[in-house]
C-alpha cells in the first residue's frame, strides 16, 4: 500500500517540463537530477513537494523525449508513485525499468485535487482518495511488469535473473 | 499482418502476432548517443563483463558537440573508453552528424529489421521500413546485456496520402497538419503506416520527415512504403568503396503489409490544397496555417535537425535566400544534419548562399533544438524553427516562444524578420 499527498498536473506534461534539456549533461548523479524536477515551468514543486508525495497527471503524461532523467529525478526526489489518465509509451516503460510504481487510471484528473491524500493498492489498482472518500480503479499491471517494479527495476531484475 | 506485426513476429520467433500481444523480440540494431553514458552505468550495475553483440551496437555523439561543458567532455570520454573496452564496431564519435541521419547513411537502417534507440525520434528509421522505436537508457542496458526487449504489438493506423504538393509546401507541412488533426497523443502506442500515391513520389528525405515527426503524435513506430527507391538507397549504403558488402550487410528486400492486414483506423489526406503550416507555442499539435500567424516578429530562425537538416531542406531554403539578406534583427542558424550533407551543400553552393545572406553555419549535430547549447533564447524571444518540438523552455527561457515550420517558411521568415509564407 502506498499512501501520499497528491501533486496534480494537467494534460500533456512533457519531459522537457519534468526535466529540462539543459541538465541532460547530468548523467550519473540522481540526487542532483532530483533538484531540477519541474524546475523551469513549475518552480514551486521543488520548494514545496515532499518525499513520499504522489504525482497525478492528466492524459499523455511524460510525452516527448526518451530522457529517463525525467523519471530518475522524481524517483530520487522521493515521489512514491505516478498515476495518470494515460502515459506516453517511453515514459511509462522508463518508470517500470527504474522501479517507480506507475498506474493508468481513467478519471483520476476529476477525482483528485492538489493536496488530497490517496491510498494506492498497487497490486489490485484500487485507489482511494481519503480526503473525499472517493474510490477509483486503475488498470492493474501485468504480472511480469509487477515483478520488475517489485524487484526495484530492470537492473536488479536482470541481476537476479543472471544469478538463476 | 501489418508491417509492425510482420516484423515483430519475425523478431519474436513467431508465425503470427496480433495487437496487444507482448513479444520478446531480438534486436538487430541498438543505437545510443551521449546518453550511452546513462546506459553504460546501468549496464555495469547488471554485473556482466561483455555486451551481447559489439557489432550490433551503434554509438555516436550529436546532442552536445563539441562538448559545451566539462561535464559533457567527461561523458564523451567515458563513452569512448567503454567503446574501446567492449570493442563496439560502429562508433562515429562526433564526426558525422545526427544519429537519425547518420545511421541510414552508414547502412544501419534496414527494411524489416528491429532497431531500438535511446532517442524518441528513433521513429525516423521507419522511413526505411525498419521497426524503429525509442527507449530509455536503463532499458537499453538490458538490450546490451541480453539482445532482447519485450514489446507490445501495436495497433496500426493507416494513412493514405494523395495529391501533389504546391510549390514551397512539403512533407513538414503535411505532418504538422496531420498532428494538428490527430493531436499529440493521436497515435500513442500505435504503429503508423503511410502509403498512397504521394508517398510513392516522395523522396527518402521527405519520408524521413514524416516518420520522424510521427513521434509528436505519440507513435511507437512510423513506416513509409518500402519500394525501389528505398532498396536503392539502402543497398547503396551497404557496400564499401570496393562494392563489397560491409559487415552490416544483410539481405535487403521489399517488405509490404499483407493485403488483408487489419487496421485500427484508415485516414486519408489530400495534399493538393495544403498550405504551409506552423506549430505554435507550446505544443506540436497547436497547428495553424502560416497565414494566420504571419507578421509575428521573430528573433531567431533555425534550419536543421533530424527533422529538416537534409540536403533538399537546405536546397529549399537556399533557393529562397539566394541573393537575399536575413533581416538585421534576426540571427539565422543553419545546421546540416550530417557531414555528408554539409559537404554536398558546400558543393552545391548552398552554404555560400546562406553565408552571403548573413546566416551562421554550425557544425552538424542537434544544435540548440533540445536546449543544451548553440543558440538558446532569452525571455520574450521568438524562434521559427524546422526542428520537432516547441515545448515551453525547450530552447532556453520559459518565456521564449518556438514556432515549428518547413525550411521554406523558415527561410522566408528570416528574410522578412517576421513569420512569412514562402511564396510572398
Domain range for B334 is 278-416
Q: How many CB pairs under 8 A join A and B?
A: 133
Q: How many domains does chain A have?
A: 1
For residue A65, list chain B residues with Cβ-Cβ distance below 8 A: 119-120, 370, 389
Q: How many domains does chain B have?
A: 2
10 Å CB burial of residue A151 (0-12, 13-18, 19+) is middle
Angle at B399 between CA B396 and CA B402, to 5 degrees: 65
Residue ranges making up the domain that contains A100: 2-163
Q: Are residues B401 and B313 in the same domain?
A: yes
Domain identity same for B224 and B284: no
Compute and round to an integer the Cα radius of gyration of chain A.
15
B214 in the same domain as B338: no
Residue B362 lies in a domain: yes
**Mutation for A interface: B21, B45, B79, B136, most A CBs within 10 A:** B136
Q: Are residues B217 and B345 in the same domain?
A: no
As given in the structure block, the three cell numbers for residue B369 are: 533544438
* pLDDT tens, position by position, B359-406: 999 999 999 999 999 999 999 999 999 999 999 999 999 999 999 999
Say if residues B255 and B112 touch (Cβ distance below 8 Å).
Answer: yes
Q: Do both B30 and B172 map to the same domain?
A: yes
Is B245 among the domain residues? no
Please give the pLDDT value at position B246.
Answer: 52
pLDDT tens-digit map of B204-248: 999 999 999 999 999 999 999 999 999 999 988 876 555 444 545
Chain B partners within 8 Å of A98 (Cβ): 136, 138
Instruction: Tell me the per-residue pLDDT of B285-294, one tens digit each, with 9 for 90 and over.
Output: 999 999 999 9
- Looking at B216, B248, B270, the residue that finishes a domain is B270
Give this complex's ipTM.
0.96
8 Å CB contact between B324 and B415? yes
Model confidence at A145, in pLDDT bands (50, 70, 90)? very high
Contacts of A6 (CB under 8 A, 6+ apart): A53, A54, A55, A56, A112, A113, A114, A115, A116, A117, A118
User: Across the interface, do A90 and B120 touch by the CB < 8 Å criterion?
Assistant: yes
Q: Please compute, for residue B303, the number of CA atoms within 13 A of its CA located in the half-sphere on the CB side.
A: 33
Are B317 and B400 in the same domain?
yes
- For B169, how many CA atoms within 13 A lie in the half-sphere containing its CB? 21
Residue B216 shares a structural domain with residue B290? no
SS3 B293: helix
- Shared domain for B230 and B99, answered yes or no, is yes
Q: CATH number for the domain including B380? A: 3.30.499.10
Q: Which residues of chain A does B145 touch, with a Cβ-Cβ cutoff of 8 Å?
A: 158
CATH number of the domain within which A106 lies? 3.20.19.10
Same domain, B42 and B131: yes
Same domain for B235 and B283, yes or no, is: no
Of B35, B69, B134, which is closest to A90 when you measure between CB atoms? B134
Return the residue in A15, A64, A141, A149 with the most chain B beta carbons within 10 A, the one to mutate for interface testing.
A64
Specify which residues B288 forms β-bridges with: B278
Q: Does A59 touch chain B (CB under 8 A)?
A: yes
Q: How far apart are CA B382 and CA B359, in angstroms?
A: 17
In a domain? residue B388: yes
Distance from CA of A36 to the nearest CA of B (A): 13
Interchain CB contact of A66 with B (< 8 Å): yes
Residue B198 and residue B309 in one domain = no
Check A24 against B45: CB less than 8 A apart. Answer: no
Amino acid at each position: 500500500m502506498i499512501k501520499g499527498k497528491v501533486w496534480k498536473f494537467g494534460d500533456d506534461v512533457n519531459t522537457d517540463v519534468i526535466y529540462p534539456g539543459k541538465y541532460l549533461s547530468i548523467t550519473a548523479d540522481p540526487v542532483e537530477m532530483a533538484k531540477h524536477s519541474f524546475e523551469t515551468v513549475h518552480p514551486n514543486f521543488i520548494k514545496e513537494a515532499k518525499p513520499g508525495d504522489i504525482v497525478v497527471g492528466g492524459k499523455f503524461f511524460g510525452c516527448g523525449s526518451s530522457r529517463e532523467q525525467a523519471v530518475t529525478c522524481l524517483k530520487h526526489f522521493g515521489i512514491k508513485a505516478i498515476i495518470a489518465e494515460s502515459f506516453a509509451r517511453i515514459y511509462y516503460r522508463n518508470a517500470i525499468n527504474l522501479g517507480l510504481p506507475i498506474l493508468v487510471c481513467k478519471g483520476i484528473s476529476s477525482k483528485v485535487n492538489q493536496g488530497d491524500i490517496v491510498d494506492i493498492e498497487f497490486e489490485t489498482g484500487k485507489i482511494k482518495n481519503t480526503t473525499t472518500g472517493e474510490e477509483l480503479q486503475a488498470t492493474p499491471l501485468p504480472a511480469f511488469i509487477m515483478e520488475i517494479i517489485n524487484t526495484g527495476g530492470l537492473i536488479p531484475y536482470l541481476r537476479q535473473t543472471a544469478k538463476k | 499482418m501489418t508491417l509492425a506485426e510482420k516484423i515483430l513476429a519475425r523478431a519474436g520467433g513467431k508465425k503470427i502476432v496480433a495487437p496487444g500481444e507482448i513479444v520478446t523480440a531480438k534486436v538487430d540494431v541498438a543505437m545510443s548517443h551521449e546518453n550511452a553514458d546513462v546506459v553504460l552505468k546501468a549496464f555495469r550495475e547488471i554485473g556482466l563483463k561483455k555486451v551481447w553483440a559489439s557489432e550490433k551496437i551503434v554509438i555516436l555523439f550529436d546532442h552536445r558537440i563539441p562538448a559545451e561543458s566539462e561535464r559533457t567532455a567527461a561523458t564523451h570520454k567515458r563513452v569512448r573508453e567503454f567503446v574501446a573496452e567492449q570493442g563496439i564496431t560502429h562508433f562515429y564519435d562526433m564526426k558525422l552528424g545526427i544519429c537519425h541521419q547518420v545511421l541510414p547513411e552508414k547502412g544501419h537502417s534496414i527494411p524489416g529489421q528491429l532497431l531500438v534507440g535511446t532517442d524518441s525520434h528513433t521513429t525516423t528509421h521507419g522511413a526505411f521500413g525498419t521497426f524503429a522505436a525509442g527507449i530509455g537508457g536503463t532499458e537499453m542496458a538490458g538490450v546490451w546485456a541480453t539482445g532482447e526487449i519485450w514489446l507490445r504489438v501495436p495497433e496500426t493506423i493507416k494513412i493514405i496520402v494523395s495529391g501533389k504538393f504546391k510549390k514551397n509546401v512539403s512533407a513538414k507541412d503535411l505532418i504538422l497538419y496531420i498532428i494538428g488533426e490527430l493531436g499529440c497523443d493521436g497515435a500513442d502506442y500505435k504503429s503508423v503506416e503511410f502509403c498512397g500515391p504521394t508517398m510513392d513520389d516522395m523522396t527518402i528525405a521527405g519520408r524521413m520527415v514524416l516518420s520522424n515527426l510521427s513521434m509528436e503524435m505519440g507513435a511507437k513506430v512510423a513506416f513509409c512504403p518500402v519500394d525501389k527507391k528505398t532498396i536503392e538507397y539502402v543497398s547503396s549504403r551497404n557496400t564499401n568503396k570496393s562494392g563489397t558488402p560491409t559487415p552490416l550487410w544483410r539481405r535487403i528486400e521489399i517488405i509490404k503489409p499483407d493485403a488483408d492486414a487489419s487496421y485500427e483506423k484508415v485516414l486519408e489526406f489530400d495534399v493538393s490544397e495544403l498550405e504551409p503550416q506552423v506549430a505554435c507555442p507550446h505544443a506540436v499539435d497547436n497547428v495553424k496555417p502560416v497565414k494566420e500567424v504571419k507578421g509575428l516578429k521573430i528573433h531567431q530562425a533555425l534550419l536543421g535537425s533530424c527533422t529538416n537538416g537534409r540536403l533538399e531542406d537546405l536546397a529549399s531554403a537556399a533557393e529562397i535566400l539566394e541573393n537575399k539578406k536575413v533581416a538585421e534583427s534576426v540571427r539565422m542558424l543553419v545546421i546540416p544534419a550530417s557531414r555528408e550533407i554539409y559537404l554536398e551543400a558546400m558543393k552545391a553552393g548552398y552554404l555560400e548562399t546562406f553565408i552571403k545572406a548573413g546566416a551562421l553555419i554550425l557544425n552538424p549535430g542537434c544544435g540548440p533544438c533540445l536546449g543544451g547549447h548553440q543558440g538558446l533564447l532569452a525571455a520574450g524571444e521568438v524562434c521559427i524553427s524546422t526542428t520537432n518540438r516547441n515545448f515551453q523552455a525547450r530552447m532556453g527561457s520559459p518565456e521564449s516562444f518556438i514556432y515549428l515550420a518547413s525550411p521554406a517558411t523558415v527561410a522566408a521568415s528570416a528574410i522578412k524578420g517576421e513569420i512569412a509564407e514562402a511564396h510572398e
